[in-house]
Structure 1
Amino acid sequence: MRTKKEIKFLTKLLNIEGIKVISHRQHEGIGIILQVEGIGKESNCPRCGKKSHRLHQNHRTSVKDLPWGENFVFLEINRRQFKCEKCVKPFSEELEFVRKRRTYTKRLGRAIIQEVLENDIHSVAKKGVVTTEEIERMLKDASKEYLKAKPSEVKRLGIDEIAVIKGKGNYCAVLIDLEKSKLIGIMDRRKQEEIREVLLGWGKEILEQIEEVSIDLWKGYRNLVRDLMPNAQVVADRFHVMAQINKELDAQRKREKRQVEDLIKKAESSEEKADQEKILEGLKKSKYVLLKNESDINEEQKAKLLQVKDVSSTLKSMQELKEKIRRIFEQSNNWLVGLLKLGRWLLEAKKYFPDSQNTIIGWLDEIIAYFDYKTTSGVVEGINNKLKLIKRSAYGFRNFENFRVRCLLTWQFDC
């Protein structure tokens, strides 16, 4: 028999408002079982709202709670049933700390979700506190509670994608609040129709308040913004422009390397072969020094870059043009200055970067907007990197919806 002092101590230790501990027992291999009930002597009828103190019957149920140290804790609750004097019908009292038809307390659910967001479902389930199915149920409950709200204060939006399975061409579209560095939407495919549906769900008022949208060089995103966000300036991500230029530069490097290798095979004299092998030596292992920002390479890499330039005048010109446009993006502080510098660059680069030139001309308005807004993909890339980590640890999620919920809760769950 427990003393009043012990019961009072256990009630305080349990720390659930309106609940007192009646008894306590411990079972080896199971854990601590606390028999609890409500302190109040009455409850409100859910139909008419009238308070009733007329006890109809007792109904006992067990739920899991936060562990105490290494011991699992189970609450054996007396969920009393009252009879409403007005409706003349019985009703069960509401338990604020347990959701209806759930076998665990709300606070245990919050703690488990926090663990899952930091790890993965299987590793959390292995601890034995809750099952995989219960964890998925917790995530669904949390999604209903936290993910219903519309992103009411978005003014700067980022739209990008992440590969679902690397190399397979499957992409998830992601929506990001650039000011708050926060993920606010994720769809299982990068399709205009699906993204449009999500954006329209935000409502006209929210879409009209968006001032800027940062995107990569995909026309589908641009068309969506133009259709749905009349007050938004589309800003092309400068890093995707640089990626296009680097792609063309690297294609030329590969092309020249293949040509030299073919010439070596066809060389008719040792002298001719030696000349081509010298060129090949300069081109070997040159990708990094050609594509990396020149200001970020070390002395050894600078020497390699000089070697590449010495054997290929075309790669020399292309690398210098690549560096020139990078400085234009970094140093131009308004759209007019940026436009003038970009125009001169396009004239110089026409011979070497025909594909990039066409891309820049086709996206000129969105690219020069960067010089005013200075929005980069830094925030987007940071979120994408975190999404990739979640994806790698998400083998415990059975479908995309569970993955989506976990991703959104990572930024929106408030424990």
Structure 2
Amino acid sequence: MLWATENFIDLKRVQRAYRCSRGLLYKVVYEQLERKRRTRLYDLPSVIGIDEHSLRKRKYQSVDYVTVIVDHKNKRIYEVIDGRNKADLEDAAVAFKRPENVKVVTLDLSNTFKSFAKDTFPNARLVADRFHVQRCFGKLVNRFRKRITGDDRKNPIRRLLLRDGRKLEPYERKVIRLFLKDKEHLREVYSLKERVHRRYRTRGKKRARKALIKILDLMGQSKIPEVVGLRKTILAWRNEIVEYFNGRYSNGRVEGFNRKAKLVQRRAFGFRSFKNYRLQLLNACRGRV
């Protein structure tokens, strides 16, 4: 039955194929998934990633979230936790095996995850995901662009402004220069975004730290409130941002598993039970272990 659930589109088709009751099917399948999960238990790896994704949205209520702990080395999900606040994470962390093994934790710019990782993994270096840092500046560019062109996603200038300037054709760079010529605030924000992109091409932790300090100094001189506000965030995460250059770890794999989680949800037409969802997701993202 477990083979059928992994290869059929949904459990209703398995039920029809095996001519069994819904209750029996669910009982057998999830008992087998739990047995398989127990056979794959192992100590925490040296490099992990943390992120959250939504599980369901209840009518007239808030969205339910789950947190995933990803094993970068074995390319699999290590654990799925119900909730995303620190209390939920700490309750689940009690069952973690040998948290002192963890040397690197990749995460987005979440203060909750940062605090949890510092308390739970004492030997770990925290690494802020580069794409989340770049996206902060991209969002700022987009916000100022909307004030000029309106919220038109099909506007070609939107795509040009958000792309890495180094990857643009010469004529595209010229279009951007002409567009920004009389737009002081947008030009300043775009220049900061490009500096951040260049900084991530820097080699070496010391050079990267110097480049980040220059960016923070420029942001500190800005008269734009949004830039000053973003500077506070970057300043609070400066050490984690610089740690990226010591190994160049990112949360890319974690984001990939989040996408796979959405496929698991769609295939089941949603989940009412977190316990069942956890078992299905751990089985679908079991990696090489």
Q: Distance in 1 between matches of 2:219 and 2:254?
A: 29
**Partner of residue 337 from structure 1, selected from 201, 207, 221:** 207
Question: How far has the Cα of 1:363 moved from its partner?
Answer: 0.9
The corresponding residue for 1:319 is 190
Matched ranges for 1:8-407 at <5 A: 109-116=1-8, 119-148=9-38, 149-165=40-56, 169-203=63-97, 206-257=98-149, 285-297=156-168, 302=173, 304-329=175-200, 331-350=201-220, 351=222, 353-395=227-269, 397-407=271-281
Q: Deviations over 1:344-378 (max 9, x none)?
A: 11222331522221111111111111111211121
Question: How far has the Cα of 1:155 moved from its partner?
Answer: 0.8
Q: Distance in 1 between matches of 2:73 and 2:141?
A: 34
Whether contact under 8 Å (1:150, 1:202) holds in the other structure is no
Which structure has greater strand proportion? 1
Q: Distance in 1 between matches of 2:133 and 2:120?
A: 25
TM-score, structure 2 as length reference: 0.85
Q: Distance in 2 between matches of 1:343 and 1:255?
A: 29
SS state of the match for residue 17, structure 2?
A: coil
Q: Distance in 1 between matches of 2:20 and 2:82?
A: 28
Question: How far has the Cα of 1:307 moved from its partner?
Answer: 4.3
Q: Deviations over 1:319-364 (max 9, x none)?
A: 23212211211x2233211100111112223315222211111111
Evaluate the alpha carbon distance shift between residue 202 and residue 150 of structure 1 in structure 2; reply closer, same or farther with a 3 A threshold. farther
SS state of the match for residue 152, structure 1?
A: coil
Q: Deviations over 1:294-338 (max 9, x none)?
A: 344567855653442234233233223212211211x22332111
Quick one: higher RCO (CA 8 Å, sep 6+), 1 or 2? 2
Q: Any stretches of 5+ residues in structure 2 without a counterpart?
A: none
Evaluate the alpha carbon distance shift between residue 324 and residue 396 of structure 1 in structure 2; reply closer, same or farther with a 3 A threshold. closer
Q: Deviations over 1:194-249 (max 9, x none)?
A: 2112222114xx10111011111111111112112110111111111112112222
Q: Distance in 1 between matches of 2:113 and 2:54?
A: 17
- Provide the aligned length of Structure 1 versus Structure 2: 279
Q: Distance in 2 between matches of 1:151 and 1:256?
A: 54
Whether contact under 8 Å (1:187, 1:194) holds in the other structure is yes
Which one has the largest radius of gyration? 1
Q: Distance in 2 between matches of 1:166 and 1:289?
A: 34
Which structure has greater helix proportion? 2
TM-score, structure 1 as length reference: 0.61
Whether contact under 8 Å (1:394, 1:403) holds in the other structure is no
Q: Distance in 2 between matches of 1:174 and 1:349?
A: 34
Question: How far has the Cα of 1:397 moved from its partner?
Answer: 4.2
Q: Deviations over 1:179-206 (max 9, x none)?
A: 1121111123212122112222114xx1
Evaluate the alpha carbon distance shift between residue 162 and residue 411 of structure 1 in structure 2; reply closer, same or farther with a 3 A threshold. same
Q: Deviations over 1:10-49 (max 9, x none)?
A: xxxxxxxxxxxxxxxxxxxxxxxxxxxxxxxxxxxxxxxx
Q: Any stretches of 5+ residues in structure 1 without a counterpart?
A: 1-108, 259-279
Whether contact under 8 Å (1:235, 1:369) holds in the other structure is yes
